[in-house]
Amino acid sequence: MIGIKCGIDNRVGFCMSISKSVQMPPLLYGTAWKKDLTCDLVIKAIEHGFQGIDTACQPRHYHEAGVGEALEFLRLKGIQREDLFIQTKYTPVAGQDLANLPYDRDSSLTEQVMTSIRVSLKNLKTSYVDALILHSPLSTHQETMEVWRAMELICAKGDAKTLGISNCYSLTALKSIAKEAKIKLSILQNRFYRESGHDKAIREWCQENGVVYQGFWILTANPQLVNHQETKQLAMFYKKSCEQIFYRFLTQIGIVPLIGTTSLVHMREDLAIFDFALTADDLKIMGNLLNEYKQSF
Ligand SMILES: NC(=O)c1ccc[n+]([C@@H]2O[C@H](COP(=O)([O-])OP(=O)(O)OC[C@H]3O[C@@H](n4cnc5c(N)ncnc54)[C@H](OP(=O)(O)O)[C@@H]3O)[C@@H](O)[C@H]2O)c1
């Protein structure tokens, strides 16, 4: 069993403490835009210690079959499927390249979702995914719920263990989906950026309702926070990089960062954030920076 030390309960293996209802590693390796390098980078990420992979049935941005090739290679090296958390997405037509669709665009939404998961399982060479994420809400709540119902069927069959949604920045919309869901909405994957106020209210709701909040665009969208004087001081004190301090801060406030680095040095650094913990005072400093970000920069 490969594993990284989980900083929250300080044990090797999947982290239990982010939410009582969902188990997943505290960091996920993101595979967008890696094209032909996907297989190699996923192998490197897992060998370095990542335990979770994020992908999508969206050929426009993800080479999902490359993830599957990596998983097959890793199996031969003794890393079993159940040692890993594998997450994929159903991407609605609006997010797809129309010249390279993984399903028939004229089929019903339900059929699209069913075809999408079939393609994903084939690409990933696995019999199940740990999470299936709706890549973004559809144009109406009714359509979103039609897709959600199809995802519930997939979950009930055992082809997906948990369900989630991405790019949902309306707390009202999120609450409606969660309320009508027969199978729990367990994951929200959103862009973590200033323009949404870093989803403050949404994250609070997630925490109260046992929904894991996964963030992307974390470094790209927040250079002022990552390179802030306060972050630099903490980096000097803990002998870490500013990126490590920022990722550590996020994991300690219950966020699961998606990390798509192509650098082996960064992979090692990002995984090394669990050998230290920020104090309550440090978290307060970083929390204040986050809250004041909108006004101050
Ligand atoms: N649901 C959605 O709609 C959606 C949208 C976008 C992304 N995602 C997911 O999120 C994943 C991450 O994408 P992202 O856009 O957030 O950014 P990212 O791929 O993690 O890229 C972060 C950038 O920061 C750089 N970097 C510098 N120091 C780093 C460090 N210590 N660790 C990591 N990166 C460092 C990276 O360069 P180096 O490569 O040189 O390290 C890279 O250019 C994607 O692969 C995908 O799985 C989902």
Residue 13 has pLDDT above 80, yes or no: no
Does residue 68 lie within any of the structural domains? yes
- Which pLDDT tens digit goes with each residue over 261-272? 999 999 999 999
Quickly state the pLDDT bin for 25 (edges 50, 70, 90).
very high
Which pTM was predicted? 0.94
Ligand 1 centroid–CA 59 distance in Å is 18
pLDDT confidence of residue 22? 86
Class of residue 195 by CB neighbours under 10 A (exposed 0-12, middle 13-18, buried 19+): exposed
Domain that holds residue 179: 28-296
Which of 219, 241, 248, 270 gets mutated to test ligand 1 (max ligand atoms within 8 A of its CB)? Answer: 219
Whether 133 maps to a domain, the answer reads: yes
Provide the number of structural domains found in the chain.
1
pLDDT tens digit sequence for 155-205: 999 999 999 999 999 999 999 999 999 999 999 999 999 999 999 999 999
- Please give the pLDDT value at position 7: 34
So what's the pLDDT on residue 293? 78
Beta strand spans in the chain (E): 28-30, 52-54, 85-90, 129-134, 160-166, 185-191, 212-216, 255-259
Determine whether the shortest distance from the Cβ of 21 to ligand 1 is under 6 A. Answer: no
- The DSSP annotation for 78-130 comes to T--GGGSEEEEEE--GGGS-GGG-SS-TTS-HHHHHHHHHHHHHHHHT-S-EE
Domain CATH number, residue 234: 3.20.20.100
Which residue is closest in CA terms to ligand 1's atom 11? Answer: 30
3-state DSSP assignment of residue 233 = helix
Mean pLDDT of 241-260: 98
Q: Could you tell me if the CB of 220 is within 6 A of ligand 1?
A: yes
Q: What is the pLDDT of residues 38-95, one digit of tens each?
A: 999 999 999 999 999 999 999 999 999 999 999 999 999 999 999 999 999 999 999 9
User: Is 12 inside any structural domain?
Assistant: no
- Statement: residue 207 has pLDDT above 90: yes
Mean pLDDT of the chain: 93
Interval between CA 32 and ligand 1 midpoint (Å): 8
Ranges 11-15, 34-38, 211-215, 248-252: which has the least confidence: 11-15
Is 42 domain-assigned? yes
Is 146's C-beta closer than 6 angstroms to any atom of ligand 1? no
Pocket flag, ligand 1, residue 64 (CB < 6 Å) = no
Distance 216 CA to ligand 1 centre (A): 7
Residue 98 is predicted with a pLDDT of: 97
Q: Determine the distance separating the centroid of ligand 1 and the alpha carbon of 78, expressed in angstroms.
A: 28
23 occurs within a structural domain: no
With respect to residue 9, please indicate whether it lies within any of the assigned structural domains.
no
pLDDT at residue 14 above 90? no
Counted residue by residue, the chain has a size of 297
- For the residues 9-23, what does the mean pLDDT come to? 53
Distances (CA, A) of 274 to 25, 52, 118, 167: 12, 16, 36, 28
Query: How far apart, in whole angstroms, are the C-alpha atoms of residue 129 and residue 254?
Result: 22
Q: Residue 171 — φ and ψ, nearest 5°? A: -65, -35
The residue whose C-alpha atom lies closest to atom 38 belonging to ligand 1 is 261
pLDDT tens track for 107-166: 999 999 999 999 999 999 999 999 999 999 999 999 999 999 999 999 999 999 999 999
pLDDT band at 2 (very low <50, low <70, confident <90, very high): very low
Let me know if residue 92 belongs to a domain.
Answer: yes
Identify whether 10 is part of a domain: no
**Does ligand 1 come within 6 angstroms of the Cβ of 270?**
yes
